[in-house]
Structure 1
Amino acid sequence: MIELRRLTKRYGQVAAVSDLSFEVRPGAVTGFLGPNGAGKTTTMRAILGLDTPTSGTATIRGRRYADLPSPMHEVGALLDARAVHPRRSVFDHLLCLAQSNGIARSRIEEVLGLVGLHETAGRRVGGLSLGMGQRLGIAVALLGDPPVLMFDEPVNGLDPEGIVWIRTLMRDLAAEGRTVLVSSHLMSEMALTADHLIVIGRGRLIADIGLEAFMRSNSRGTVLVRTPDAEEFAHRLRDAGATVRPGTEGALVVAGMESAEIGKIAMVHGVVLHELTPHRTSLEEAYMELTRDSVEFGVLEGAGR
């Protein structure tokens, strides 16, 4: 388990992370979300001992990273896949890490197969594509077969096949009982991958909640209705307690009423319906609404026009 207790990290007068507390439990993929500048990378660096907290604690399985006797056997991390000597081969990079961490040479072949780099083991790291470099970073994280894994933007540079692969890999790792923390800006991927969400903004915790509960609490469903009798039907729906606003191309956007009830009202009043489509708030929409006041680098409305 990863555990943060009142973690604070300041750079001069600027608080990158402020009084942050949460737990990342095994057996689930935990999505770590927040706008640019929210403090996600600083938090992950503090967990890995790369940044020293100003106050508070960050522990892995009850210990600070610096106190772990065999770090790569305890936690694997992908923060910057390109932080590798460019003239070193893929195999030699993994071999160096394996030998310095007491990991069997045979494990290198295993992880190369897991990430799909077995045919490029002899290539220099500097010649890898962005996606292949990302796969190498994931191989490093998996090298010690650790129970705790942390990934910062793992789908960067991956093609569609690679995105499906890393999504499946993270879910399989969690299903094995491992602790998986993944930071990403791709809400569509988080909706398909994460079981639990931790959302921060301006260095502070905003939400610590299961994905399904997050969607229920932040989802505002609407129904798109198309009918040749739009104006009259809108009055009928408002009389029944719904909120109705105009949509595109003469459609009605109805809130506060399920599609089945809308269909019943149409039947009772003899209204012909051409479309009746429920719409649920996506994770991206719910996230944007939740973090609206925590965006550090917003664009001014009308700027550049």
Structure 2
Amino acid sequence: MIEVEGLSKQYGRTVAVDDLSFTVRPGLVTGFLGPNGAGKSTTMRMMLGLDRPSAGRVLIDGRPYAGLTDPLRQVGALLEARSVHGGRRAHHHLRWLAQTNRIPTARVDEVLELAGLTGARRKRVAGFSLGMHQRLGLAAALLGDPPVLLFDEPVNGLDPEGIVWLRNLMKGFAAEGRTVFVSSHLMSEMAMTAEHLVVIGRGRLLADTTVERFIADNTQSYVRIATPEPARLREALTAEGIQVTDTDDGALAAHGTDTTKVGELVARHGVVVHEMAARSASLEEAFVQLTGEHVEFGR
């Protein structure tokens, strides 16, 4: 479990993180979302003791990161995959990490295989693609088989196969009861991976809820109706107090209702309908709706 309590970080007059509090619970993939400059990376760095908070604290299973013994065995993190010295070979880099954290050397080959890097184990990191760097960073995070995992933009550079692999990996770890906290700009991927969301803007907490609740609270579902008689159908719907708007493809969108009620109205008024379906908003739409005013393009 990760507990963030009143966390703040200020650089001069700039407040990067502002009195942030939330809990990341085990058994779930928790997505960490926010616009560029919202303070996500700063927050994750403070979780790992890489930045000192101006106020507040972060506890990982009841202790600050700096107080953990053998930290790789308790927390696995991927923040910057390209931080590895280019002259090192993949196998040697992981072996060095294992030795400094009392991790059996045999574990190195296990995580290389898990990350799909067995064939590149003796290659120098300087020749790695971005996707291979990400896989090596993930291998390092998993080296100690830790119960807590923190990933910042982990799908960067991964091909579609790699993205699916990582998605299933994170879900599998959560199912085992581990704490999985992942930051990403890819809303479609978060919608398929995360069960819970922590959303921040300008360093402040905007939402701490399930994915389903977040979408429901920040968007409206509607019924899309394609008809050659839009004027008649619009009149019938508005007469029942149903809000109607036009969709980009020329259909009608009936808000605050369902397909059963719309179907009954269509039958009662004898309106020809070619297509009718309930539509739910996406995580991306909900995110833009909530965070639009918190975007700072100059940062």
Report the TM-score range of the alignment, normalised by the length of the smaller protein: over 0.9
CA displacement, residues 179-234 of structure 1 (integer Å, 9 cap, x when unaligned): 00000000100000001100000000000111122222223012221212110111
Aligned partner of 1:302 in structure 2 is none
Does the C-alpha gap of structure 1 residues 68 and 278 become closer, same or farther in structure 2, counting only changes over 3 Å? Answer: same
Checking the alignment, whether the CA contact within 8 Å between 1:16 and 1:39 is kept in structure 2 is yes
Rounded to whole Å, the distance in 1 between the matches of 2:128 and 2:298 is 34
Rounded to whole Å, the distance in 2 between the matches of 1:101 and 1:230 is 68
Checking the alignment, whether the CA contact within 8 Å between 2:219 and 2:289 is kept in structure 1 is no
Cα distance, 1:160 vs structure 2:
0.5
Rounded to whole Å, the distance in 1 between the matches of 2:172 and 2:249 is 45
Aligned partner of 1:186 in structure 2 is 186
Aligned partner of 2:2 in structure 1 is 2
Instruction: For 1:96-245, list aligned pairs within 5 A.
Output: 96-245=96-245
Checking the alignment, whether the CA contact within 8 Å between 1:230 and 1:250 is kept in structure 2 is no
Cα distance, 1:298 vs structure 2:
7.4
Does the C-alpha gap of structure 1 residues 184 and 249 become closer, same or farther in structure 2, counting only changes over 3 Å? Answer: closer
Number of aligned residue pairs: 299
Cα distance, 1:120 vs structure 2:
0.8
Aligned partner of 2:36 in structure 1 is 36
What's the secondary structure of 1:82's corresponding residue?
helix
Rounded to whole Å, the distance in 2 between the matches of 1:250 and 1:159 is 36
Rounded to whole Å, the distance in 2 between the matches of 1:286 and 1:23 is 22
Rounded to whole Å, the distance in 2 between the matches of 1:249 and 1:149 is 43
Q: Which amino acid aligns with 2:76?
A: G
Report the more deviating stretch, 37-46 or 268-277. 268-277
Aligned partner of 2:289 in structure 1 is 289
Rounded to whole Å, the distance in 2 between the matches of 1:74 and 1:6 is 23
What's the secondary structure of 2:20's corresponding residue?
strand
Checking the alignment, whether the CA contact within 8 Å between 1:259 and 1:277 is kept in structure 2 is yes
Cα distance, 1:248 vs structure 2:
3.7
Report the more deviating stretch, 226-235 or 184-193. 226-235
Aligned partner of 1:85 in structure 2 is 85
Rounded to whole Å, the distance in 1 between the matches of 2:250 and 2:165 is 42
Checking the alignment, whether the CA contact within 8 Å between 2:227 and 2:273 is kept in structure 1 is yes
Report the more deviating stretch, 248-257 or 167-176. 248-257
Kindly, what percent of the aligned residue pairs are identical? 57
Rounded to whole Å, the distance in 2 between the matches of 1:88 and 1:104 is 20
Report the more deviating stretch, 210-219 or 64-73. 210-219
Q: Which amino acid aligns with 1:251?
A: A
Aligned partner of 1:303 in structure 2 is none
What's the secondary structure of 1:5's corresponding residue?
strand
Cα distance, 1:253 vs structure 2:
1.8
Report the more deviating stretch, 151-160 or 264-273. 264-273
Checking the alignment, whether the CA contact within 8 Å between 2:188 and 2:283 is kept in structure 1 is yes
Checking the alignment, whether the CA contact within 8 Å between 1:241 and 1:256 is kept in structure 2 is no
Cα distance, 1:250 vs structure 2:
3.7
Q: Which amino acid aligns with 1:186?
A: L
Rounded to whole Å, the distance in 1 between the matches of 2:106 and 2:113 is 11
Report the more deviating stretch, 4-13 or 221-230. 221-230
Does the C-alpha gap of structure 1 residues 295 and 93 become closer, same or farther in structure 2, counting only changes over 3 Å? Answer: same
Rounded to whole Å, the distance in 2 between the matches of 1:250 and 1:29 is 38
Cα distance, 1:64 vs structure 2:
1.1
Does the C-alpha gap of structure 1 residues 82 and 250 become closer, same or farther in structure 2, counting only changes over 3 Å? Answer: closer
Q: Which amino acid aligns with 1:282?
A: S
Does the C-alpha gap of structure 1 residues 93 and 254 become closer, same or farther in structure 2, counting only changes over 3 Å? Answer: same
Structure 2: where are the runs of 5+ without partners? none
**TM-score where L is the length of structure 1:** 0.96
> CA RMSD for the aligned pairs?
1.3
Rounded to whole Å, the distance in 1 between the matches of 2:6 and 2:58 is 9
Instruction: For 1:18-29, list aligned pairs within 5 A.
Output: 18-29=18-29
